[in-house]
């Protein structure tokens, strides 16, 4: 369509829609387009300049999209200039319309512990008026209450580590927990709490402040790893469990396990830290910063107060795409995708060309409404601030608080928590005086996500460490002075 004809068409269409009050709040038409099913539509830019709206004559409703307005470019003679179209369907194909996020994605099967007292937090002299902790359990607690194992969840995980009668959906550690599994529910009473600051039952930014009747949003206090551990041990008090047989965690969960052993040395029998660290390093801090930046730069984030308005989906989607790059490894990308194209015979454009791009887009899209963006901001910041040496003269001194036997597991292809961090953790634990340290290094293809996928490597190591009678190795869990150098286990 020529430029003048296009202008007449748009003017006529706008007048028609204005007469029906459809274009209220919009100030100009920026381009024609075709939406799915061949329906003619046009794009308008809202007066706020923060979002773009797609209006369809046939659908008679407004759907928000997160794409740039199209440019009005002049015609050029084909024999002098041949360029690309300024239409980018990859920016418009994921509409903002659709079901709202389900912040209580795990809506059944968990139990709630309600702490009806103010909860003091580490930073800024902050305080919550009350606290709720969502948790799930498997197995049976023995008479002496000495067989409890706590699984510490990762950044975006819920308490649903394993399916059960109240919730039959597979859990995030489904194949690692159960009868005869790595964490054997015939042997242990297993507890998995949802972390403080999350959105799956435990108090977090999306929870309602009982004093105001509205969501906390970004009035929620800054959260720390210490706060999460304190909340989990209040849960143990409620359950009448004085001491854990073990604390097991990966990534953020590994941080929580270390802090639990440091803060409550008399209440933790042993810990397993998988793909984690003793303090966050600049590279991982940078990656999490970028994820927060994409969310906070989304106009719909609205300083965190979006619960009654448009949802910051585009920011959340981009944050997940960035995160996915750090969860797997380069060798796996090469093996799975190589340079395979989405459409080998299609034209080259600025939109995704390779299947790896399509995979990242899928991961971002599928996750974007499963988790509360504010929860991601708060918990990722807590991970950045994590430092076992904080308040001590050195990292080694801070780690000296960990008295119980420790298994440290690392993965050679991990980008987010590089293997040198686990090596350093194991060495510093030993140098600090802990003689019950086991270091287990895996050569897995799956990078950071190995702890979710490698049943043989991770599962076998976890099972062996949980079920080994450490006294048979010369390690007395009660009388620490009986440790001897010959009993040191470092592999």
Kindly state the DSSP code that residue 174 receives in the 8-state scheme.
G
Kindly state the DSSP code that residue 183 receives in the 8-state scheme.
E
The helix/strand/coil state of 464 is helix
Backbone angles phi, psi at 41, to 5 degrees: -140, 175
Q: Look up 448 and say whether it is catalytic.
A: yes
Q: Look up 43 and say whether it is catalytic.
A: no
The catalytically annotated residue of 43, 67, 160, 448 is: 448
Residues 104, 312, 68: CA angle, nearest 5 degrees: 150
Q: Are strands 148-152 and 131-138 parallel, antiparallel or unpaired?
A: unpaired
C-alpha count within 13 angstroms, C-beta hemisphere, residue 160? 22
Neighbours of 114 (CB within 10 A): 11
The catalytically annotated residue of 158, 207, 224, 251 is: 251
Q: Are strands 131-138 and 111-115 parallel, antiparallel or unpaired?
A: antiparallel
- Residue 6 CB-density burial (10 A; 0-12 exposed, 13-18 middle, 19+ buried): middle
Q: Give the closest residue to 330 by CA, choosing from 356, 312, 308.
A: 356
- Residue 269 and residue 404 in contact, taking contact as beta carbons nearer than 8 Å: yes
Our CA dihedral for 54, 55, 60, 61, rounded to 10 degrees, sits at 40
- Residue 209 and residue 219 in contact, taking contact as beta carbons nearer than 8 Å: yes
Kindly state the DSSP code that residue 59 receives in the 8-state scheme.
T
Q: Look up 414 and say whether it is catalytic.
A: yes
Q: Give the closest residue to 44 by CA, choosing from 59, 56, 58, 29.
A: 29
The catalytically annotated residue of 414, 432, 444, 454 is: 414
- What's the first-to-final CA gap in the chain, in angstroms? 71
Task: Tell me the catalytic residues.
Answer: 251, 414, 448
């Amino acid at each position: 369509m020529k430029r003048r004809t296009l202008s007449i068409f748009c003017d006529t269409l706008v007048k028609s829609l204005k007469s029906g009050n459809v274009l209220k709040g919009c100030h100009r038409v920026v381009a024609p387009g075709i939406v799915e099913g061949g329906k003619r539509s046009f794009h308008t830019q809202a007066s706020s300049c923060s979002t773009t709206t797609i209006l369809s004559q046939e659908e008679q409703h407004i759907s928000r999209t997160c794409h740039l307005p199209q440019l009005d470019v002049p015609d050029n003679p084909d024999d002098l200039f041949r360029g690309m179209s300024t239409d980018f369907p990859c920016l418009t194909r994921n509409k903002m319309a659709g079901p709202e996020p389900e912040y209580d994605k795990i809506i059944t099967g968990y139990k709630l512990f309600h702490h009806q007292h103010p909860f003091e937090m580490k930073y800024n002299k902050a305080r919550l008026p009350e606290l709720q902790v969502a948790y799930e359990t498997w197995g049976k607690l023995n008479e002496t209450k000495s067989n409890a194992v706590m699984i510490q969840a990762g950044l975006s995980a819920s308490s649903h580590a394993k399916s059960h009668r109240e919730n039959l959906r597979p859990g995030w550690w489904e194949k690692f927990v159960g009868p005869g599994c790595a964490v054997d529910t015939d042997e242990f009473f297993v507890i998995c709490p949802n972390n403080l600051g999350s959105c799956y039952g435990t108090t977090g930014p999306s929870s309602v402040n009982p004093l105001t009747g509205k969501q906390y949003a970004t009035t929620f206090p800054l959260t720390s790893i210490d706060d999460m551990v304190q909340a989990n041990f209040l849960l143990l008090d409620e359950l009448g469990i004085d001491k854990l047989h073990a604390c097991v965690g990966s990534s953020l969960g590994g941080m929580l396990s270390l802090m639990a052993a440091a803060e409550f040395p008399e209440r933790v029998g042993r810990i397993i830290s998988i793909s984690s660290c003793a303090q966050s390093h600049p590279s991982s801090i940078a990656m999490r910063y970028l994820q927060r930046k994409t969310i906070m730069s989304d106009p719909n984030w609205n300083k965190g107060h979006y619960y009654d308005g448009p949802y910051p989906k585009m920011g959340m989607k981009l944050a997940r795409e960035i995160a996915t790059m750090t969860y797997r490894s380069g060798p796996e990308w090469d093996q799975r995708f190589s340079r395979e194209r989405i459409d080998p015979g299609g034209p080259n454009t600025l939109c995704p060309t390779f299947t790896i791009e399509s995979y990242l887009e899928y991961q971002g899209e599928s996750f974007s409404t499963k988790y509360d963006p504010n929860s991601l901001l708060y918990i990722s910041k807590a991970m950045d601030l994590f430092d076992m040496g904080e308040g001590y003269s050195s990292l080694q001194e801070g780690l000296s608080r960990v008295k119980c036997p420790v298994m440290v597991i690392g993965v050679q292809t991990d980008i987010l928590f590089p293997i040198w961090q686990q090596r350093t953790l194991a060495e510093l634990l030993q140098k600090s005086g802990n003689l019950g340290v086991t270091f287990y290094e895996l050569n897995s293809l799956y990078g950071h996500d190995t702890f979710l996928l490698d049943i043989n490597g991770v599962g076998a190591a976890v099972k062996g460490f949980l079920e080994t009678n450490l006294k048979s190795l010369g390690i007395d869990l009660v009388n620490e002075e009986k440790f001897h150098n010959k009993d040191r286990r470092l592999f």
